[in-house]
Amino acid sequence: MKKLNSILLGLIALVIFGISSCKDEIVVTYQDAYPVSGTWWVTYQFDDGSGNIGDWYGVGYTKLFIYNTAFDNDSIWIDDHANFWDFKVKLPYDDVSFAADSALNVSYDIKVNIKKGKVIDNDSIYMELEFEDDPGTIYICSGVRYDGFGE
């Protein structure tokens, strides 16, 4: 009987603790560059010259990182960590859109043009890229926000 009472008392304490811990509201804060910033799963597609757009290099989905620093609240870094082209560029952003002509790639010495960059509904991203060492080829980079879960 004593064992049953101690189990019952433990369950009551657990329920009271659980109810009281739910009173605090969780407040989510985002960094300045949200919703542009974050980790993204993206693909890079381009026109093969005959109007067919696809992932002709067979790279598939790769991670793309977009972030800002404490010193730059008006600009973002786009960094692919050498997952596709080895580029890391800094450019201005405005709410959910971003673009740059001849952004300096700090990974190696080329310029990168980024056009039509935008975030759609906080969870999808789209941009068009042109690399100085592959002039004329417009890469369509699009994907979704990485949520930390598997497929």
pLDDT computed for residue 33 by the predictor:
76
pLDDT tens-digit readout, 90-140: 999 988 899 999 999 999 999 999 999 999 999 999 999 999 999 999 999
Q: Name the pTM for this structure.
A: 0.77
pLDDT computed for residue 69 by the predictor:
78
Please indicate whether residue 9 or residue 147 has the higher confidence score (pLDDT): 147
When the pLDDT of each residue in the chain is averaged and rounded to a whole number, the result is 86
Domain boundaries, the chain: 38-145
* 38-145 CATH fold: Lipocalin (2.40.128)
Point out which residues pair with 131 in neighbouring strands: 112
**Distance separating alpha carbons of residues 88 and 144, to the nearest angstrom:** 19
**Distance separating alpha carbons of residues 55 and 76, to the nearest angstrom:** 26
pLDDT computed for residue 5 by the predictor:
62
